[in-house]
Each structure stands twice: as structure tokens, then as C-alpha cells.
């Protein structure tokens, strides 16, 4: 038998997860020059991962990546198997037998914990659940957020924190023509949140926003940004960072914050406040969030390595709502080694390794489950290309026996009673969502439960 990758013996690859990194891996395989058959397995009936369920509804341009993924999905060598959870409906071991190679692209589906008392008080939420809720992710559609509170604190100063802040601060008019989930728009319409504190443990020069996301916060209809100029005083190490090209993005952020600080009060109904150099030590309250206790920090260390160190000074902010936005984290999957500290599958050059660092033949990873939750959508492309380069390099060494692919797995063939969702099925769901949205001037009205999506398919068959 010939090595996998020929007409007689196509290289059969399962990709687990239909987010950007999974699609970029599929694209790289299609361009590899080998004869490939790709089966992408996704736990939801809907593909596109965080492009559908993470990227903010008021940033539609960023969802244009979907057009690229759609083209890949329509390739004859590609099949989509939605509504199948790997590690539950189909075992990793079974995939390893049915395919020459398995590429995990399962993302980072949970959040890092703050590890402070009161973290789980009612009124304290993770950005993950809030983002999933307003984006109509089936796992989060039933979450209830107490938006009767007037003051919210967002802990974290990255782009996800900026998204959460913007969605809380925007008016219904600013959101109603986006693909925000209907249940979220209704709840936000009744929101009483007026003051939003966005708090970071380091200084303004270390905040992780990108300039565009930060600037946008100063451009909202009914909410203004308040920054105390004293908060923007920088230590010599931060000023030194600006002298280096690596510090250009931070300098831009500080310039934007200075512009905010110089603005006269506009008398808008809502306010966003930035606070720096504060680490939460407890979320306070009896039965519900009433505030957050922080320790004031100072920065210590050379430029670009400055860490937050407590000064011992305590600061309290009163608030009825807290959103913790300190980073996403991958989750373990039965049958795959997991680095619980980093929240990733351990890899070397994209090849999954066991605890001793030994490569497990045929198992690979790309995207957030390989690198951790960093970078933008495009960052996943070189990551997936590098992983596929390892698959191709290993090709000749992979077991030569032809593999059955999905045909060898009842869970993918739907013969175990599960309604597996094909890409054609997804197109029917997609079109139904778009027609639902058209009525209210939205690009789409998402179905927010698996059952609703499967119902569309029932109706389509009739
Ligand atoms: C809130 C938020 C906003 C963002 N906004 C932007 C933005 O505006 N611009 C930008 O460029 N980037 C943005 N990003 C970053 C971007 O979304 C990520 O870089 C990218 O989605 C990571 O791709 P991925 O394929 O590794 O993971 P994901 O996109 O998370 O995809 C993983 C997929 O795997 C599936 N899966 C998980 N477990 C299993 C399993 N056991 N079996 C089968 N399937 C499984 C999941 O359902 C999911 O569909 C944002 C991220 C977040 C969290």
C-alpha cells in the first residue's frame, strides 16, 4: 500500500472544532499537494466557533472571515459533522483508529478564575458567560444577568473587557441592527447600568486593548469616558517602553486615554471610568455583590517586564455587578493529555505530547487549544499552517493502512440515533436565521438552542 496522501490511499484527517484554527488547518491540508479527505467534527450544529459566538455583534466586519471558511467547507474533499462532541459522542481513540491524523482545534472554552473570596456571589459573572449570552451560544442562553444594578465593575483590560463594556454601554438603537441575540437585546433594553469601571492590575501603558477597541469606547451615543489625568502619570520604565518600537501600541493607547482625560464632561447618561494599578482581593457582599476590594499596586521591573506589586494600600469600589475578564482557558478532553496550568494540550511543533514530552503519533493541535487564548482571528492561520506542516512531514511515517474515516464511526454516520448536522444542513439553518433577522433589520436572528436548529432541519425535510 502507498503512503497516505495518494488517490489509492488519501490522507484522512479529522479536525475537531469548527473555529478559525480548524478551518485554517483544513485550508492548509487542501493546499498541501497531498490527496486528502477532511472530516471536521463540531459539537454545535453551527460552525465558526468564536467568530459566531465571541466576536461582538457590533463588529460585523470581523465576521467576514466566515466567507473564507464557507469556501473551504464547500470543497469536495471536506465534510462537516456538526452536533457531535468529541470525547463524549465519539472517543478520541476511535478517531485515532478511523483517521491517519486527528487535529484538535477545540479552542479555549472556559475562563481563568480570579481566586478571591466572593468570586461566585450572585452578581459576579465571567466575561465568557456574558459574551456567550449576548451572542446566542446555546450553553449560555439561559443565563440571567442582574442588569437592575447601576454600577458595574469589569476586571481586566483587554479587548474582551472592551467588548463587554461596549455592549453594556450601548443603547438599544446602537445594537438593534446587529446580530445580537434577541433575549440579550430585550434584557439590555431594561438595563439600569450607568457607571462602568474598567479596572486593570497594571498601568495604562500595560493595558491590552487594541487602539481601535479603546477609541470606540469614547464614541458612544449615551455614555462618555471619564479618565482622571492623575491615573495616566507614567513611571520612567513605561516611558522607556514608548521609545522602543515594541511599545508603539501602548503609546497609542495612552494617547487615546489622554484624549479622553482632556475631554470636557458631556453630561451623557452613562459613564465609563478607567482605573489602573488595582488587583482585586475580594468581591464583597452579603448574598449579592456590593463592591470589590482592591489592593493598590506599583510597577516593578525593567521595561516590558514590569509586574504589579502590592503597595499594601486598600481601595474599595461600590458596585452591584462584576464581570471577570481575565482570560479564557482550554478544557480537557477525555483521551488527550492536558496541561491544566496553561489550559492547553501540550504540543511540540503542533504534535501532541504526553507528560514525558513524548510525541503521540497521529495527534496534533492548533489554535487556542495549542497556544492559549492569544491573538486575533488571523493569528490562527500561521499557527494552523505550522501544525499541518508537521502532519505533512510525518505523512510518510504514518500508518500506511487506509482508514475508513467517518464511515467507520457510528456517531458520525448518525447510526447511533444522533442527528448529525452536515454542511448542507448548516446552510439551511443559516438561511433560516437570516430570514428571521430580515424582519427586524438584523443580519440574522440566531437560533440559540440546538433543538431550534434541528427543528429547522425537520421542517426543511418536510
Ligand atoms: C469574546 C471574544 C471576542 C473576540 N473578538 C475578536 C475580534 O473582534 N477580532 C479578532 O480578530 N479576534 C477576536 N477574538 C479572537 C478569536 O475569536 C480567536 O482567535 C479564535 O476564535 C480562536 O480560534 P480557535 O479555532 O482556536 O477556537 P474557537 O473559535 O473557540 O473554536 C473552537 C471550536 O471547537 C468546538 N469544540 C470545542 N470542544 C469540542 C469538542 N469536544 N468536540 C467538537 N467540537 C468542539 C467549539 O464549539 C468551537 O466551535 C475574540 C475572542 C473572544 C473570546
Side by side, the strands of the sheet bearing 278-284 are: 278-284, 291-300, 307-318
Cβ(18) – ligand 1 distance below 6 Å: yes
Mean of pLDDT values over 417-427: 95
Q: Among 18, 22, 55, 388, say which to mutate for ligand 1: greatest number of ligand atoms within 8 Å of CB.
A: 55
Residue 363 pLDDT class (50, 70, 90 cuts): very high
Residue 361: its pLDDT value, please?
94
Q: Quick: pLDDT tens for 219-261.
A: 999 999 999 999 999 999 999 999 999 999 999 999 999 999 9
Q: Give mean pLDDT, residues 97-124.
A: 96
The predicted model gives 410-419 an average pLDDT of: 88
Show Cβ contacts of residue 439 under 8 Å, excluding neighbours closer than 6 positions. 445
Q: Is the CB of 85 under 6 A from ligand 1?
A: yes
> The pTM is what?
0.96
State the Cα–Cα distance between residues 257 and 227, nearest whole angstrom: 7
- The average pLDDT across 250-275 equals 96
Centroid of ligand 1 to alpha carbon of 143 (angstroms):
20
Mean pLDDT for the stretch of residues 349-363: 96
Q: How far apart are CA 134 and CA 189, in angstroms?
A: 12
End-to-end CA separation in angstroms for the chain: 45
- Could you tell me whether strands 195-199 and 270-275 are parallel, antiparallel, or unpaired per DSSP bridges? parallel
Label residue 461 by pLDDT band (50, 70, 90): low
Do residues 12 and 391 make contact, with C-beta atoms less than 8 angstroms apart?
A: no
Q: Mind listing the pLDDT tens digit for each residue in 28-74?
A: 999 999 999 999 999 999 999 999 999 999 999 989 999 999 999 99
Q: Output the CA 51–ligand 1 centroid distance in Å.
A: 6
3-state secondary structure of 300: strand
- Band of the pLDDT at 415, cuts 50, 70, 90? confident
Q: What percent of the chain has pLDDT over 90?
A: 94
pLDDT of residue 101: 96
Determine contact, residues 165/131, Cβ cutoff 8 Å: no
Mean pLDDT (whole number) for 79-96 = 97
Distance 298 CA to ligand 1 centre (A): 34
The response to whether residue 162 sits with its C-beta less than 6 Å from ligand 1 reads no
pLDDT: which is higher, 389 or 355: 389
- Round the average pLDDT of the chain to a whole number and report it: 96
- CA–CA dist 265, 17 (Å, integer): 47
Atom of ligand 1 nearest to the CA of 370: 26
Q: Mean pLDDT over residues 428-441, rounded?
A: 96
pLDDT value for 462 = 47
| pLDDT score for 1 | 61
Residue 294's pLDDT is 98
Q: Which residues contact 327 (CB under 8 A, 6 or more apart)?
A: 111, 112, 156, 158, 373
Amino acid at each position: 500500500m502507498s503512503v497516505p496522501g495518494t488517490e489509492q490511499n488519501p490522507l484522512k484527517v479529522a479536525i475537531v472544532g469548527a473555529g478559525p484554527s480548524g478551518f485554517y488547518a483544513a485550508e492548509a491540508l487542501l493546499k498541501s499537494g497531498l490527496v486528502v479527505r477532511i472530516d471536521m467534527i463540531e459539537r454545535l450544529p453551527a460552525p465558526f466557533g468564536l467568530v459566531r459566538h465571541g466576536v461582538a455583534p457590533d463588529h460585523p466586519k470581523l465576521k467576514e472571515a466566515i466567507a473564507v471558511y464557507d469556501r473551504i467547507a464547500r470543497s469536495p474533499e471536506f465534510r462537516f459533522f456538526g452536533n457531535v462532541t468529541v470525547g463524549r459522542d465519539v472517543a478520541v481513540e476511535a478517531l485515532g483508529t478511523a483517521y491517519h491524523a486527528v487535529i484538535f482545534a477545540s479552542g479555549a472554552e472556559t475562563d481563568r478564575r480570579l481566586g478571591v473570596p466572593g468570586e461566585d456571589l450572585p452578581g459576579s459573572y465571567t466575561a465568557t458567560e456574558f459574551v456567550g449570552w449576548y451572542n446566542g451560544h446555546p450553553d449560555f442562553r439561559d443565563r440571567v444577568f442582574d442588569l437592575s444594578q447601576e454600577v458595574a465593575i469589569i476586571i481586566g483590560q483587554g479587548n474582551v473587557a472592551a467588548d463587554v463594556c461596549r455592549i453594556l454601554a450601548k443603547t438599544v438603537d446602537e445594537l438593534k441592527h446587529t446580530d445580537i441575540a434577541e433575549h440579550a437585546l430585550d434584557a439590555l433594553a431594561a438595563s439600569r447600568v450607568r457607571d462602568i469601571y474598567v479596572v486593570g492590575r497594571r498601568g495604562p501603558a500595560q493595558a491590552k486593548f487594541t487602539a481601535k477597541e479603546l477609541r470606540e469606547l469614547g464614541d458612544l451615543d449615551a455614555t462618555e469616558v471619564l479618565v482622571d489625568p492623575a491615573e495616566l502619570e507614567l513611571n520612567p520604565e513605561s516611558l522607556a517602553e514608548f521609545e522602543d518600537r515594541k511599545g508603539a501600541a501602548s503609546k497609542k493607547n495612552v494617547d487615546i486615554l489622554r484624549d479622553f482625560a482632556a475631554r470636557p464632561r458631556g453630561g451623557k447618561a452613562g459613564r465609563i471610568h478607567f482605573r489602573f494599578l488595582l488587583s482585586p482581593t475580594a468581591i464583597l457582599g452579603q448574598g449579592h455583590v456590593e463592591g470589590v476590594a482592591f489592593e493598590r499596586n506599583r510597577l516593578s521591573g525593567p521595561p516590558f517586564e514590569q509586574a504589579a506589586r502590592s503597595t499594601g494600600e486598600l481601595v474599595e469600589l461600590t458596585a452591584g455587578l462584576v464581570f471577570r475578564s481575565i482570560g479564557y482557558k482550554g478544557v480537557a478532553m477525555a483521551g488527550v493529555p492536558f496541561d491544566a496550568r496553561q489550559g492547553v494540550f501540550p504540543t511540540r511543533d503542533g504534535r501532541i505530547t504526553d507528560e514525558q514530552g513524548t510525541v503521540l503519533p497521529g495527534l496534533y493541535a492548533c489554535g487556542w487549544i495549542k497556544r492559549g487564548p492569544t491573538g486575533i482571528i488571523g493569528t490562527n492561520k500561521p499557527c494552523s499552517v505550522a501544525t499541518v506542516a508537521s502532519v505533512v512531514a510525518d505523512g510518510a511515517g504514518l500508518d500506511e493502512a487506509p482508514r475508513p474515516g467517518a464511515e467507520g464511526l457510528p456517531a458520525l454516520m448518525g447510526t447511533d440515533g444522533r442527528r448529525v448536522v452536515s454542511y448542507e444542513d448548516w446552510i439551511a439553518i443559516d438561511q433560516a436565521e437570516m430570514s428571521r433577522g430580515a424582519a427586524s433589520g438584523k443580519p440574522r436572528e440566531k437560533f440559540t438552542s440546538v433543538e431550534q436548529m434541528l427543528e429547522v432541519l425537520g421542517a426543511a425535510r418536510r
